[in-house]
């Protein structure tokens, strides 16, 4: 296989939640593979570092504030992107939130609504809005960032786990419905990755020991270890892959 099939030169991509952590790493990985990248986060200033790194690679970048839990902001974000770019080839739904930790019995309704709005409804709206144009063009790749917590319930992450399980099913549903039009929809499910988002786990020696001793690679992951799978799924090298979830957790879910 030609290595060019893994390249994304000339492609346009969107990555949500790209101000830090996994989202930042994914946006940079796509740019390194040749794509121009539109990024969003809740605060414009938080996107500056990511945008600067993408520009330093010689790629075009659009950096805009957007809360993906709010549909009106999603549509305004997309309107600004399509004013500059005629088409978006790649959508990466990465943004997520989890404001609570502990038994699901203690979860309040506000927390459920907030988690579902950002982790599931936001990607749903983005998939449909971007997907309409992909379906018309009969091409495109969507990658949803779920979690191993969407496959096996995460300790203290009940509502979050439900939202991420929903994202895996959304991936399968859209892949089934859109495949005949040439639009691929896939998912990645990271395990514990060293980010600020997961700090409650890796900064706690008891939790960290539990994770590492049940992981064949005996460690947690780094943000840049997610990028390869996303670039692959976005590229022509994955042209016959849709509806799948790649687990990236060091072997813990074999």
Give the separation between CA 51 and CA 40, rounded to whole angstroms.
10
pLDDT for 152-187, tens place per residue?
Answer: 998 889 999 999 999 999 999 999 999 999 999 999
Note the pLDDT of residue 233.
98
pLDDT at 254 over 70: no
φ/ψ of 247, rounded to 5, equals -85, 130
Reported as a pLDDT band with limits 50, 70 and 90, residue 59 is: very high
Half-sphere exposure of 85 (CA within 13 A, CB side): 21
Give the separation between CA 99 and CA 229, rounded to whole angstroms.
28
Q: Please confirm, yes or no, whether 160 is among the known catalytic residues.
A: yes
Provide CB contacts within 8 A for 52, sequence distance 6+: none
Could you give the angle at which helices 21-32 and 48-56 cross, rounded to 10 degrees? 20
Note the pLDDT of residue 154.
86
CA-to-CA dists, residue 23 to 93, 195, 197, 230, angstroms: 9, 10, 11, 11
Closest to 92 in 3D by CA, of 130, 63, 65: 130
CA-to-CA dists, residue 180 to 13, 90, 127, 135, 159, angstroms: 22, 18, 16, 9, 33
Give the separation between CA 57 and CA 88, rounded to whole angstroms.
19
Q: What is the mean pLDDT of the chain?
A: 95
Q: Rounded to 5 degrees, what angle do the CA atoms 122, 95, 143 make?
A: 80
Average the pLDDT over 226-243 and give the result: 98
89 in Cβ contact with 140 (< 8 Å): yes
Q: Count of residues for the chain?
A: 254
pLDDT for 121-159, tens place per residue?
Answer: 999 999 999 999 999 999 999 999 999 999 999 888 999
Task: Choose the catalytic residue: 77, 124, 160, 178.
Answer: 160
């Amino acid at each position: 296989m030609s290595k060019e099939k893994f390249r994304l030169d000339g492609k346009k991509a969107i990555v949500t939640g790209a101000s830090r952590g996994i989202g930042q790493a994914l946006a940079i990985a796509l740019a390194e593979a040749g794509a121009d990248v539109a990024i969003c986060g809740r605060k414009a200033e938080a996107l500056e570092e990511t945008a600067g790194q993408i520009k330093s690679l010689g790629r075009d970048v659009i950096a805009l504030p957007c809360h993906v839990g709010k549909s009106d902001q999603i549509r305004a974000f997309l309107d600004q992107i399509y004013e500059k770019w005629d088409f978006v080839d790649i959508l990466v739904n990465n943004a997520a939130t989890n404001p609570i930790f502990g038994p699901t019995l203690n979860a309040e309704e506000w927390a459920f609504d907030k988690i579902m709005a950002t982790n599931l409804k936001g990607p749903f709206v983005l998939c449909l809005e971007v997907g309409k144009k992909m379906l018309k063009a009969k091409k495109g790749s969507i990658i949803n960032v779920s979690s191993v917590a969407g496959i096996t319930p995460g300790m203290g992450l009940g509502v979050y786990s439900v939202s991420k399980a929903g994202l895996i099913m959304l991936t399968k549903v859209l892949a089934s419905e859109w495949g005949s039009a040439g639009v691929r929809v896939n998912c990645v499910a990271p395990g514990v990755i060293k980010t600020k988002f997961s700090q409650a786990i890796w900064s706690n020696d008891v939790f960290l020991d539990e994770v590492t001793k049940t992981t064949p690679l005996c460690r947690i992951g780094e943000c840049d270890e997610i990028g390869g799978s996303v670039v692959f799924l976005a590229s022509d090298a994955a042209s016959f892959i849709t509806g799948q979830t790649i687990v990236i957790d060091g072997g813990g879910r074999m």
